[in-house]
Amino acid sequence: TPERDALARALIDLDSRLAMELSARDVRAHASSAAFPGPLGPDRVPRAVIELDAGVPGWRSTGLYAPPGEVVTIRVPEALVGAGVHVQIGAWRDPHDHPYRVRLRDAMRRFPVDTPEVEVASAIGGPIYIDVPVELARASRGSVWRVQIDNAAEMPRYVAGVTDIGQWRSRIRHLDAPWAEFESGELVLTVPSSAVREVEHPDVVMAHWDRVHEAMQSLEPRTANHWADRPYRYVADVSVSWGYMYCPADGPIVIPASAAGAMFQTENFDAEGPNNLWGHYHEMGHAHQNPLWTDGATGEVTVNIFTVYALHTVNGYPLDSDVMRSTPQTAWETFDRHRAAGGRFEDVGGPFPRLQFYALLWHAFGFDAFHAAFDAMRALPPEHRPQSQDEERNAFLVALSEAVGRDLSGYFDAWGIAVTNESRERLAGLEAWMPEPRPAQGAAVTPSGQ
């Protein structure tokens, strides 16, 4: 149960710090490991040899799990020694920044690979990774590394295009390690094993998530700080320090363990079942937001361009579905109210009212307009890139107007976005556009002259 007593928290945190400082041979299993990450049975793999594509940086999954308080021995090729490689146990980076404890604060332990043989251990255990620096991966493209791992446990793991589905159904999903991973060349999902025990079609699950990633990637590639050079990751955790889920600038998306199961339930993959993946898509969308067209007022707004796009193109929801939270009628009514009230774009309200600014545009012109505008913004040479919020908004206005062949300056102005004379002059040769009123729910929005 969550420990809220201040003294008890202090003692638990002391245990956590000590466990991080002990040598592998001195580490003992912490009593809390049975609750998180969870209990592990007695089966061990005395010796496993895995092969890693040397050209991929970052956390490299091994499919093996370190038992809490037990030494695991890793043997690596000489090329990895002293090259900045680390062996990592656990994927849980959340700082557990709460006034209570549901797990140790330090749930991830890393060991530098300074010798060909490295002993590692964790007080709570967890999946084992080989963390490869970018520079080493770049210098090693085309090579394969063989890594030997002794005294670990096998964990449920599905690798798209590699894992035999029959083996998955009959044996792999039933392995008793408490955490599992699904992996493709684009994504890795690290979740409690309970979330995948009933999965009959792991290929369908991973193909769906690849399609979601590919859809967002086609609209705007992942930004460099969101691990653009390696498979992206979702990691479930019992501790989520910011909001319901979050997407840090330099690591995996963090979701609550309670939300992991929805990622594997195929009824969530189309427009017929429950819409239980908005939050998961939303967090992935953050990794694709470009600061060239996202500012302080739109950080939680432009992200949902990607959420809606994936729900539409992958799940098949119509754009006028209430699921999208941006029907033509909702968008029009929000616009009409704000135009009548006047004021800045920042006065529109929260993220969903502001989303309607973009929604009227995709209802009118489709997502091809966003593809073209984003491409144009990304192609700007460094010396021509906007340097302020006003410059960013005007650059987006010009890019989007040129993409649709209509002057959108009046529309931007009606939302309280300051339009420069330079932008107006540049777009003067295009026919002006404003949305038309929507008298009925679900009515289509069509372009019209001002």
Lowest-confidence segment of 1-15, 157-171, 336-350 by average pLDDT: 1-15
pLDDT at res. 438: 76
Kindly state the average pLDDT of the residues 8-32. 95
The partner residues of 153 in beta bridges, in order of sequence, read 65
Cis peptide before 77 (omega within 30 of 0): no
| Fold type of domain 155-288 | Collagenase (Catalytic Domain) (3.40.390)
Which phi and psi (to 5°) does residue 445 adopt? -100, 130
Which amino acid is it at 275?
A: N
Long-range contacts of 300-305 (CB under 8 A, 24+ apart): 300/350, 300/351, 301/351, 301/354, 301/355, 301/357, 301/358, 302/358, 304/351, 304/352, 304/355, 305/219, 305/355, 305/358, 305/362, 305/370
Distance CA 234, CA 223 (A): 16
pLDDT at res. 314: 99
Tokens of 282: 């939303």
pLDDT at res. 99: 87
Write the DSSP assignment of 7-73 as a string of letters: HHHHHHHHHHHHHHHS-GGG----GGGGTTT----S--EEEEEEEEETT--EEEEEEEEEPTT--EE
Which secondary-structure segment (H or E) carries 253? strand 253-256
All structural domains of the chain with their residue ranges? 1-153, 155-288, 289-432
Residue 296 neighbours by CB under 8 Å, 6+ apart: 389
Which amino acid is it at 156?
A: P
Read off the pLDDT of residues 317-343 as tens digits, 9 standing for 90 and up: 999 999 999 999 999 999 999 999 999
pLDDT at res. 405: 99
Q: How much of the chain exceeds pLDDT 70, in percent? A: 97
| Fold type of domain 1-153 | Jelly Rolls (2.60.120)
pLDDT at 3 over 80: no
Distance CA 78, CA 104 (A): 34
CATH of 289-432, one of 3.40.50.261, 1.10.390.30, 1.20.200.10, 2.60.40.1250: 1.10.390.30
Instruction: With CA atoms as reference, report the closest residue to 201 among 266, 261, 274.
Output: 266
User: What is the maximum alpha-carbon separation in the chain?
Assistant: 75
Tokens of 270: 């189309």
**pLDDT range class, residue 97, cuts 50, 70, 90:** confident
pLDDT at res. 98: 87
What distance lies between CA 70 and its chain's CA centroid?
32
Question: Alpha helices, DSSP H only, in 287-418?
Answer: 303-310, 328-341, 351-365, 368-378, 389-404, 409-414
Give the chain's mean pLDDT. Answer: 95
Read off the pLDDT of residues 251-305 as tens digits, 9 standing for 90 and up: 999 999 999 999 999 999 999 989 899 999 999 999 999 999 999 999 999 999 9
Which amino acid is it at 149?
A: I
pLDDT at 365 over 50: yes
**pLDDT range class, residue 450, cuts 50, 70, 90:** very low
Do the domains 155-288 and 1-153 match in fold?
no
The partner residues of 215 in beta bridges, in order of sequence, read none
Q: ∠ at Cα 290 (132, 97), nearest 5°?
A: 60
pLDDT at 428 over 90: yes
pLDDT at res. 440: 53
pLDDT at 45 over 70: yes
pLDDT at res. 247: 98
Question: At 241, is the secondary structure helix, strand, or coil?
Answer: coil
Question: pTM to 2 decimals?
Answer: 0.94
pLDDT at res. 443: 41
pLDDT at res. 439: 61
Tokens of 321: 């579905």
Q: Are 147 and 76 in contact (CB under 8 A)?
A: yes
Instruction: With CA atoms as reference, report the closest residue to 176 among 45, 69, 30.
Output: 45
pLDDT at 141 over 50: yes
Kindly state the average pLDDT of the residues 151-158. 99
Read off the pLDDT of residues 166-219 as tens digits, 9 standing for 90 and up: 999 999 999 999 999 999 999 999 999 999 999 999 999 999 999 999 999 999
